[in-house]
Amino acid sequence: MARDATSSLPPQDVSGAAPSWAAGRSLRGASENRLGERVIRGLLMFCGLLSVATTFAIVAVLIGETARFFAEVSPIDFFTGTEWAPTFTPAKFGVLPLLVGTLQIALIAICISIPIGLASAIYLSMYAPERVRSILKPALEVLAGIPTVVYGYFALTFITPNIVQRIFEDARVFNALSAGIAVGIMTIPMVSSLSEDAIQAVPRSLRDGALALGATKFEVSTKVMVPAALSGIMASIILAFSRAIGETMIVALAAGATPKFTFNPLESIQTMTGFIVQISLGDTPRGTLEYKTLFAVGFTLFLLTLMMNTLSLWLTSKFREEYE
């Protein structure tokens, strides 16, 4: 079981040590203060700050239009109403059907991606010989690189007729289950990759100790390694959930466009992202209520995923401290 030491870290991990001379101001001679050098330094800093500006712009645009939306629609109706019909007269602005639709898709998705992703992570980190692992791991990651519109096509033309409607005859052509399964498949590599990294990060002595006490490999996996890596595994699951909430093209193609307050996965539904796509496909001039509705729904979506991502980052940092 020789291990590949360069197993990939989560992409957030960019906080490395700066080169030794970046901190040492004493090395800076007069040439460092030449005009050209200062201009270049300023330009580079501008590039870095542009990413901060992006965040501010996102928040500003979302809050600005959302505030204008709430000037016309009561926030209480928005967050507690169970009817969503913004383009009808009289218009109904209860976001709950979209929220329930979104969470339904995300729950179905993690019901697929947790068992399969976690089982792959355990197989790859505890059982697979190095050669097998070096083939299977990149193959799994291909799943994450496929454009989501392709999964949408697959859900609509393959999963719905060949799987879902075979098992449940009363399932609609557009249904939450097919879309949820496709989103689940898409998020498998996220769970498997990050969970595998978390399991790899458990000190070897724990595994060797349990094996030496006579535990079988399965017992070591489920009673020692997985519990020790639990916060990292949880973080990967939350990230997959957050990704599923924000997923757009699969649900726009396969889940339908009927905002319905239902918990039946065989029904046609609509998610927050699905609504944004539906409205965007039409013409929405700035200043109309429809335009503002886009941003109010987008802001709700943004807050939801921000909460999930922050929770996931927090879990990961907690987990790092334990073994450093």
Partner 1 sequence: MSVVRTAFSNTGNLPRRKLVGRIFFGLFLTATLLAIGVLFVLGWDIISDGGSWLNRNFIQSFPSRRPEIAGIRPALIGTIWIMLLTAAFAFPIGVGAAIYLEEYSGKGWISRIIELNISNLAGVPSIVYGLLGLGVFVEVMRLGPSILAGALTMTLLILPIVIIASREAIRAVPDSLRQAALALGGTRWEATKSHVLPAAMPGILTGTILALSRAIGETAPLIVVGAVTYANFSPSGLDSVFTVLPLQIFDWSSRPQDDFQRIAAAAIIVLLALLMTMNLAAILLRNRFRKNQNW
Residue 260 Ramachandran class (φ > 0 left, ψ -120 to 50 alpha, else beta): beta
Q: Site for partner 1 (CB under 8 A): which residue of 131, 147, 205, 321?
A: 147
> Which segment (79-87, 91-99, 218-226, 228-236) binds partner 1 by CB under 8 A?
218-226
Peptide bond preceding 90 in cis form (omega within 30 of 0): yes
Shortest approach of partner 1 to residue 96 CB, angstroms?
20
User: CA-based angle 168:143:236, to the nearest 5?
Assistant: 90
Spatial separation of the C-alpha atoms in residues 292 and 276, rounded to whole Å: 11
Q: Residue 18 carries which DSSP code?
A: P
**Using rule CB under 8 A, residue 31 touches partner 1:** yes
Helix or strand run (H / E) with residue 92: strand 92-93
> Which segment (76-84, 91-99, 136-144, 228-236) binds partner 1 by CB under 8 A?
136-144
Cβ proximity to partner 1: between 12 and 82 the closer is 12
Residues from 180 through 209 that contact partner 1 (CB under 8 A): 185, 188, 192, 209
Residues from 240 through 259 that contact partner 1 (CB under 8 A): 242, 245-249, 252-253
Shortest approach of partner 1 to residue 90 CB, angstroms?
26
> Which segment (67-75, 87-95, 110-118, 259-267) binds partner 1 by CB under 8 A?
110-118
The total of other beta-carbon atoms located within 10 Å of residue 306's CB is: 12
Peptide bond preceding 227 in cis form (omega within 30 of 0): no
Q: Which residues pair with 84 in a beta bridge?
A: 93
Residue 84's SS3 state is strand
**Using rule CB under 8 A, residue 71 touches partner 1:** no
Residues from 153 through 172 that contact partner 1 (CB under 8 A): 153-154, 156-158
**Using rule CB under 8 A, residue 307 touches partner 1:** no
Cβ proximity to partner 1: between 7 and 83 the closer is 7
Q: Which residues pair with 93 in a beta bridge?
A: 84
Residue pair 236/199 in contact (Cβ under 8 Å)? The answer is no
**Using rule CB under 8 A, residue 217 touches partner 1:** yes
Shortest approach of partner 1 to residue 265 CB, angstroms?
20
